[in-house]
Structure 1
Amino acid sequence: MQVFSKRSEFLAAARARRQGSKGMMVQGRNRHDDDGVRVGFTCSKKVGNAVARNRAKRRLREVARIVLASHGKPGWDYVLIGRATETAARPFEQLQSDLVYALKKIHSK
Protein backbone atom coordinates (compact mmCIF):
# COMPACT_ATOMS: atom_id res chain seq x y z
CA MET A 1 0.00 0.00 0.00
CA GLN A 2 1.43 3.33 -1.07
CA VAL A 3 0.37 6.66 0.41
CA PHE A 4 -0.02 9.63 -1.91
CA SER A 5 0.06 13.27 -0.91
CA LYS A 6 0.02 15.35 -4.12
CA ARG A 7 -2.97 17.59 -4.68
CA SER A 8 -3.41 16.33 -8.24
CA GLU A 9 -3.84 12.76 -6.98
CA PHE A 10 -6.49 13.84 -4.47
CA LEU A 11 -8.34 15.82 -7.16
CA ALA A 12 -8.31 12.84 -9.54
CA ALA A 13 -9.85 10.64 -6.85
CA ALA A 14 -12.42 13.35 -6.04
CA ARG A 15 -13.76 13.16 -9.61
CA ALA A 16 -14.33 9.40 -9.29
CA ARG A 17 -16.71 7.24 -7.27
CA ARG A 18 -17.56 8.10 -3.69
CA GLN A 19 -19.40 6.41 -0.88
CA GLY A 20 -20.23 7.79 2.53
CA SER A 21 -20.55 5.83 5.72
CA LYS A 22 -21.17 6.83 9.31
CA GLY A 23 -17.47 6.98 10.18
CA MET A 24 -15.89 8.33 6.99
CA MET A 25 -16.26 9.26 3.33
CA VAL A 26 -14.38 7.09 0.83
CA GLN A 27 -13.48 8.05 -2.72
CA GLY A 28 -12.20 5.44 -5.14
CA ARG A 29 -10.71 5.62 -8.62
CA ASN A 30 -9.60 2.85 -10.95
CA ARG A 31 -6.23 3.78 -12.49
CA HIS A 32 -6.43 0.86 -14.97
CA ASP A 33 -3.03 -0.55 -14.09
CA ASP A 34 -1.80 -3.19 -11.64
CA ASP A 35 0.58 -0.96 -9.74
CA GLY A 36 -0.85 -1.81 -6.31
CA VAL A 37 -3.21 0.02 -3.97
CA ARG A 38 -2.60 3.69 -3.26
CA VAL A 39 -4.36 5.61 -0.51
CA GLY A 40 -4.61 9.18 0.77
CA PHE A 41 -6.02 10.59 4.00
CA THR A 42 -7.57 13.95 4.73
CA CYS A 43 -9.58 15.72 7.40
CA SER A 44 -10.99 19.21 7.11
CA LYS A 45 -11.01 21.79 9.88
CA LYS A 46 -14.62 20.80 10.57
CA VAL A 47 -13.18 17.76 12.37
CA GLY A 48 -11.57 20.02 14.97
CA ASN A 49 -8.21 21.41 15.90
CA ALA A 50 -4.90 19.89 14.77
CA VAL A 51 -4.90 17.34 17.59
CA ALA A 52 -8.38 16.07 16.67
CA ARG A 53 -7.56 15.96 12.94
CA ASN A 54 -4.35 14.03 13.53
CA ARG A 55 -6.12 11.55 15.82
CA ALA A 56 -8.79 10.97 13.18
CA LYS A 57 -6.14 10.48 10.46
CA ARG A 58 -4.19 8.02 12.64
CA ARG A 59 -7.34 5.95 13.06
CA LEU A 60 -8.03 6.09 9.30
CA ARG A 61 -4.46 4.99 8.53
CA GLU A 62 -4.76 1.98 10.83
CA VAL A 63 -8.16 0.98 9.44
CA ALA A 64 -6.81 1.29 5.90
CA ARG A 65 -3.77 -0.82 6.75
CA ILE A 66 -5.98 -3.61 8.06
CA VAL A 67 -8.87 -3.51 5.57
CA LEU A 68 -7.25 -2.55 2.26
CA ALA A 69 -4.90 -5.53 2.41
CA SER A 70 -7.86 -7.86 1.95
CA HIS A 71 -10.59 -5.69 0.35
CA GLY A 72 -8.64 -3.20 -1.77
CA LYS A 73 -8.14 -3.88 -5.47
CA PRO A 74 -4.77 -3.44 -7.21
CA GLY A 75 -4.73 -0.48 -9.55
CA TRP A 76 -7.12 1.60 -7.43
CA ASP A 77 -6.63 4.89 -5.59
CA TYR A 78 -8.62 5.49 -2.41
CA VAL A 79 -9.06 8.66 -0.37
CA LEU A 80 -10.38 8.34 3.18
CA ILE A 81 -11.95 11.52 4.52
CA GLY A 82 -12.57 11.91 8.24
CA ARG A 83 -15.93 13.09 9.55
CA ALA A 84 -16.43 15.58 12.36
CA THR A 85 -16.92 13.85 15.75
CA GLU A 86 -17.58 10.45 14.14
CA THR A 87 -14.17 9.26 12.98
CA ALA A 88 -12.41 9.78 16.28
CA ALA A 89 -15.27 8.63 18.52
CA ARG A 90 -16.59 5.62 16.60
CA PRO A 91 -15.56 2.17 17.91
CA PHE A 92 -12.70 0.73 15.89
CA GLU A 93 -14.55 -2.43 14.80
CA GLN A 94 -17.41 -0.33 13.43
CA LEU A 95 -14.92 1.91 11.62
CA GLN A 96 -13.52 -1.20 9.93
CA SER A 97 -16.96 -2.40 8.89
CA ASP A 98 -17.73 1.11 7.55
CA LEU A 99 -14.70 0.92 5.26
CA VAL A 100 -15.55 -2.61 4.08
CA TYR A 101 -19.11 -1.48 3.30
CA ALA A 102 -17.89 1.60 1.39
CA LEU A 103 -15.38 -0.43 -0.64
CA LYS A 104 -18.03 -2.96 -1.66
CA LYS A 105 -20.30 -0.15 -2.83
CA ILE A 106 -17.51 1.60 -4.75
CA HIS A 107 -16.41 -1.59 -6.50
CA SER A 108 -19.97 -2.52 -7.47
CA LYS A 109 -20.68 0.79 -9.29
Structure 2
Amino acid sequence: MTRAAVKSTMTEQKPLRLRKRAEFLAVRNGEKRRGPLFLLEVKARTEAESAAAKVGDRPRVGLTVTKKNGNAVIRNRIRRRLREAMRANAGDMADGTDYVIVARREALDAPFTELVRELAKRVARRAEQKR
Protein backbone atom coordinates (compact mmCIF):
# COMPACT_ATOMS: atom_id res chain seq x y z
CA MET A 1 0.00 0.00 0.00
CA THR A 2 1.38 3.40 -0.92
CA ARG A 3 1.89 6.19 1.56
CA ALA A 4 -0.92 8.23 -0.04
CA ALA A 5 -3.33 5.29 0.24
CA VAL A 6 -2.50 4.81 3.92
CA LYS A 7 -2.96 8.52 4.60
CA SER A 8 -6.33 8.62 2.81
CA THR A 9 -7.67 5.66 4.81
CA MET A 10 -6.53 7.29 8.05
CA THR A 11 -8.26 10.58 7.26
CA GLU A 12 -11.50 8.79 6.33
CA GLN A 13 -11.68 7.21 9.78
CA LYS A 14 -10.77 10.35 11.69
CA PRO A 15 -13.71 12.36 13.04
CA LEU A 16 -13.61 16.14 13.10
CA ARG A 17 -12.42 17.97 16.21
CA LEU A 18 -14.28 20.33 18.49
CA ARG A 19 -12.16 23.46 18.72
CA LYS A 20 -14.08 26.32 20.30
CA ARG A 21 -15.00 26.71 23.95
CA ALA A 22 -18.64 27.33 23.02
CA GLU A 23 -18.77 23.95 21.25
CA PHE A 24 -17.42 22.17 24.34
CA LEU A 25 -19.91 23.99 26.57
CA ALA A 26 -22.81 23.08 24.29
CA VAL A 27 -21.96 19.39 24.59
CA ARG A 28 -21.96 19.66 28.40
CA ASN A 29 -25.74 20.12 28.23
CA GLY A 30 -26.12 16.75 26.52
CA GLU A 31 -26.12 13.20 27.81
CA LYS A 32 -23.35 12.02 30.14
CA ARG A 33 -22.08 8.44 30.00
CA ARG A 34 -19.87 7.70 32.99
CA GLY A 35 -17.16 5.07 33.04
CA PRO A 36 -14.14 4.11 35.13
CA LEU A 37 -11.60 5.60 32.69
CA PHE A 38 -13.40 8.68 31.37
CA LEU A 39 -16.68 10.54 31.12
CA LEU A 40 -18.23 10.70 27.66
CA GLU A 41 -20.52 13.67 27.00
CA VAL A 42 -22.75 13.28 23.93
CA LYS A 43 -25.03 15.75 22.18
CA ALA A 44 -26.80 15.49 18.83
CA ARG A 45 -26.38 18.63 16.73
CA THR A 46 -29.28 20.47 15.18
CA GLU A 47 -29.20 21.21 11.46
CA ALA A 48 -28.55 24.88 12.24
CA GLU A 49 -25.52 24.01 14.39
CA SER A 50 -24.12 21.74 11.68
CA ALA A 51 -24.64 24.40 9.02
CA ALA A 52 -23.06 27.11 11.17
CA ALA A 53 -20.00 24.96 11.83
CA LYS A 54 -19.85 23.85 8.15
CA VAL A 55 -19.27 20.23 9.13
CA GLY A 56 -22.24 18.43 7.62
CA ASP A 57 -23.22 15.20 9.37
CA ARG A 58 -19.78 13.95 10.39
CA PRO A 59 -19.24 13.32 14.11
CA ARG A 60 -17.01 15.72 16.04
CA VAL A 61 -14.89 14.84 19.07
CA GLY A 62 -13.15 16.91 21.74
CA LEU A 63 -10.79 15.77 24.49
CA THR A 64 -10.46 17.30 27.94
CA VAL A 65 -7.63 16.33 30.27
CA THR A 66 -7.52 18.56 33.33
CA LYS A 67 -4.49 19.56 35.38
CA LYS A 68 -5.88 17.38 38.15
CA ASN A 69 -4.61 14.39 36.13
CA GLY A 70 -0.95 15.40 36.36
CA ASN A 71 1.74 17.46 34.70
CA ALA A 72 1.91 18.22 30.97
CA VAL A 73 3.77 15.00 30.12
CA ILE A 74 1.13 12.84 31.79
CA ARG A 75 -1.79 14.85 30.36
CA ASN A 76 -0.37 14.58 26.83
CA ARG A 77 0.17 10.83 27.21
CA ILE A 78 -3.45 10.40 28.31
CA ARG A 79 -4.58 12.59 25.40
CA ARG A 80 -2.59 10.55 22.86
CA ARG A 81 -4.00 7.26 24.17
CA LEU A 82 -7.57 8.57 24.07
CA ARG A 83 -7.12 10.04 20.59
CA GLU A 84 -5.93 6.67 19.27
CA ALA A 85 -8.81 4.83 20.99
CA MET A 86 -11.17 7.37 19.43
CA ARG A 87 -9.77 6.62 15.97
CA ALA A 88 -10.31 2.91 16.54
CA ASN A 89 -14.00 3.58 17.30
CA ALA A 90 -14.62 6.34 14.75
CA GLY A 91 -16.82 4.11 12.59
CA ASP A 92 -19.25 3.53 15.47
CA MET A 93 -19.83 7.21 16.19
CA ALA A 94 -23.23 8.53 15.13
CA ASP A 95 -23.40 11.11 12.36
CA GLY A 96 -24.47 14.59 13.41
CA THR A 97 -23.28 14.05 16.99
CA ASP A 98 -20.67 15.81 19.13
CA TYR A 99 -18.64 13.88 21.71
CA VAL A 100 -16.42 15.20 24.50
CA ILE A 101 -14.18 12.75 26.35
CA VAL A 102 -13.25 13.97 29.84
CA ALA A 103 -10.29 11.84 30.93
CA ARG A 104 -9.68 10.37 34.35
CA ARG A 105 -6.22 9.52 35.70
CA GLU A 106 -6.99 5.78 35.38
CA ALA A 107 -6.87 6.14 31.58
CA LEU A 108 -3.08 6.44 31.82
CA ASP A 109 -2.45 3.02 33.39
CA ALA A 110 -5.28 1.00 31.86
CA PRO A 111 -4.39 -1.45 29.08
CA PHE A 112 -5.04 0.06 25.66
CA THR A 113 -7.46 -2.73 24.70
CA GLU A 114 -9.56 -1.91 27.77
CA LEU A 115 -9.53 1.77 26.82
CA VAL A 116 -10.79 0.95 23.31
CA ARG A 117 -13.42 -1.45 24.68
CA GLU A 118 -14.71 1.11 27.23
CA LEU A 119 -14.99 3.80 24.57
CA ALA A 120 -16.80 1.42 22.21
CA LYS A 121 -19.23 0.50 25.00
CA ARG A 122 -19.96 4.15 25.83
CA VAL A 123 -20.38 5.15 22.17
CA ALA A 124 -22.63 2.17 21.37
CA ARG A 125 -24.82 2.59 24.45
CA ARG A 126 -27.12 5.10 22.75
CA ALA A 127 -27.74 2.82 19.77
CA GLU A 128 -28.81 0.01 22.11
CA GLN A 129 -31.22 2.27 24.00
CA LYS A 130 -32.98 3.39 20.80
CA ARG A 131 -33.83 -0.18 19.72
Match of 1:62 among 65, 81, 84: 84
Report the Cα offset of residue 75 of structure 1. Answer: 0.2
The RMSD of aligned alpha carbons is: 1.4
Give how far 1:101 is off. 1.3
Secondary structure of 1:13's partner? helix
Identity of aligned residues (%): 36
Q: Is the 8 A contact 1:17 1:106 kept in 2?
A: no
In the TM superposition, what whole-angstrom CA distance separates every residue of 1:65-105 from its partner, at most 9, and x where no partner exists?
Answer: 11122x10110000011102x11110011001111111123
1:93 maps to which residue? 113
Distance 1:88 1:17, change over 3 A: same
Q: TM-score, normalised by structure 2?
A: 0.76
Secondary structure in 2 matching 1:74: coil
Q: Which has the higher contact order (CA 8 A, sep 6+)?
A: 1
Structure 2: how far apart are the matches of 1:27 and 1:49? 24
5+ long unaligned stretches in structure 1: none
Deviation, 1:106, is 3.9
Which string of whole-angstrom CA distances, capped at 9 and with x for unpartnered residues, describes residues 7-63 of structure 1?
A: 000001111001111111101100144520100001111110011111101111101
- DSSP 3-state at the match of 1:52: helix
* Segments ≥4 residues shifted beyond 6 Å: none
Gapped regions of structure 2 (runs ≥ 5): 1-14, 48-55
Greater helix fraction, Structure 1 or Structure 2 = 2
The TM-score with structure 1 as length reference comes to 0.91
- How many residue pairs align between the two structures? 107
Q: Distance in 2 between matches of 1:59 and 1:92?
A: 7
Residues in 2 aligned to 1:63 and 1:49: alpha-carbon distance in whole angstroms: 21
